[in-house]
Every structure is written in C-alpha cells, then in structure tokens.
C-alpha cells in the first residue's frame, strides 16, 4: 500500500506548511492536498517526482515507507552535506510530455527544449524523452502499459538499430505521431501502429524515431 498520503501530511506539518501553502508550492489546490492526506486520491506521478525532488527524498521511500520526523529532517541534512549540486547531478533532466503538452504535441515535434523537465535516475548519451500515457497518443492494440504510466524513450541512433525488432517505440513528425511496434528485417526498419498505419525508418529522419527503454508506474 502506498504511503504517499501520510507522508505528504507529515512533510507538511514538519515544514510548518498549511494545506494551501503546500498546494501552492506544487501548483495544486488545497482540495488536492486534503484528498491525498485523507487517502481519497493519490497524486499523479509528476507531482510525486516534484515533491520528492523538492524535499530531497528518494521516490521509493516517499511512496513505500512511513517517514519519521527525524528522517524528514535528516534527508535535507544529508543532501546539504553531500552538496545540492551533486544531488541534482545524480538525476537526468528529461523533457516531459504530460497530458497538457500532449494536447498540443505538434508545437514541440523535434524541439523538446520547450517541454518541462523531470528529474529521474536514468541515463543515456543520446537524447531522452519521457511521455505520460494519458490516452491522447494513438497506440497499438497490444500496447501493454497502463494509462498514467510514464514511459521513457531514447532517440534512435545507429548503434541500437539492430535491437529494434519487436520493441515498442514512439514516432512523431508534425501532425503524425503514435506509439508503435518496431519491425526490422535486414536494413528495412519500420514502426507500426496497426496494419493500416506505419512509418518506414530512413537515417536522414532519425530524430523522428524513439525506442522505449523504461517505464515508471505509480504504486496503488
């Protein structure tokens, strides 16, 4: 069972914050905080990540452990001792395509610098993109991930082309975007949404193609 609601309440009290003040920090409403603390709802994944980063608390502990007052105080001390920049550098800053951004996805296309960033312990020498699956992006019928999961993608590069066959990915080009299955036979590579829609890979268009490399699910 997730401990997020109880931990939010304890964090708020230790920090001397009202429900409204806590809500304001994370661009939420007082009603949101009340519903979390009373276990009537759980925050979305991006909110959990924001809270964890803001208070320098590991995400797994924030979700799974009943935090004590001493732990909350000393998490902050620990990160001060280690150096705030070191703590920040231990997480990748990844462009994040959430529900709001997905509604206007065309404006981002390949310019992901316009997107907000999330901090997450996943690394690659190539560009990464995080997408929250909110049902706004077309997907194959066999897409196995629950809505609201955050999916992490790595932009295609020559070194991973041989690993694509039967892996899920993401394709975007202007108004055309979808999650799909990769099929690779020799040098012919395509990503397929269904039997009617697909995109054929060409090296000159490599920035349009992404490979799924990880996912993050909220603990219920």
Per-residue pLDDT of the chain (220 residues; tens, 9 = 90+): 688 999 999 988 887 788 988 888 888 899 999 999 999 998 888 888 888 877 778 887 888 888 888 777 766 544 444 444 444 555 778 899 888 887 777 777 667 777 888 877 777 778 999 998 888 899 999 998 887 888 999 999 888 898 899 999 999 988 889 999 999 988 899 999 999 999 999 888 999 999 998 888 765 4
Strand bridging mode 176-185 / 188-194: antiparallel
**Alpha-helical segments (H) within the chain:** 4-14, 19-25, 30-37, 45-54, 59-64, 69-82, 84-89, 99-102
165-167-173 Cα angle (round to 5): 95
92-216 fold? Umud Fragment, subunit A (2.10.109)
Give the position of tokens 């690394």. 123
Give the position of tokens 């996805």. 105
4-89 fold? 434 Repressor (Amino-terminal Domain) (1.10.260)
CB 173 within 8 A of CB 160: no
Query: What's the pTM value of the predicted model, to 2 decimals?
Result: 0.60
Domain ranges of the chain: 4-89, 92-216
CB 59 within 8 A of CB 70: no
């Amino acid at each position: 069972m997730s401990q997020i609601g109880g931990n939010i309440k304890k964090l708020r009290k230790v920090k001397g914050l009202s429900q409204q003040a806590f809500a304001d920090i994370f661009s939420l409403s007082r009603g949101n905080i009340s519903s979390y603390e009373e276990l009537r709802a759980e925050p979305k994944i991006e909110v959990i990540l924001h809270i964890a980063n803001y208070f320098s608390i590991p995400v797994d502990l924030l979700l799974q452990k009943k935090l004590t007052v001493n732990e909350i105080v000393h998490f902050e001390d620990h990160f001060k001792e280690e150096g705030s920049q070191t703590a920040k550098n231990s997480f990748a800053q990844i462009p994040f395509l959430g529900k709001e951004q997905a509604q206007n996805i065309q404006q981002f296309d390949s310019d992901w610098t316009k997107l907000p960033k999330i901090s997450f312990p996943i690394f690659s020498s190539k560009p990464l993109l995080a997408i929250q699956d909110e049902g706004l992006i077309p997907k194959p019928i066999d897409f196995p991930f629950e809505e609201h999961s955050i999916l992490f993608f790595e932009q295609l590069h020559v070194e991973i082309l041989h690993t694509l066959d039967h892996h899920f990915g993401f394709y975007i080009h202007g108004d055309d975007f979808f999650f799909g299955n990769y099929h690779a036979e020799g040098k012919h590579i395509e990503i397929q949404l269904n039997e009617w829609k697909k995109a054929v890979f060409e090296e000159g268009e490599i920035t349009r193609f992404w490979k799924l490399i990880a996912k993050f699910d909220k603990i219920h």
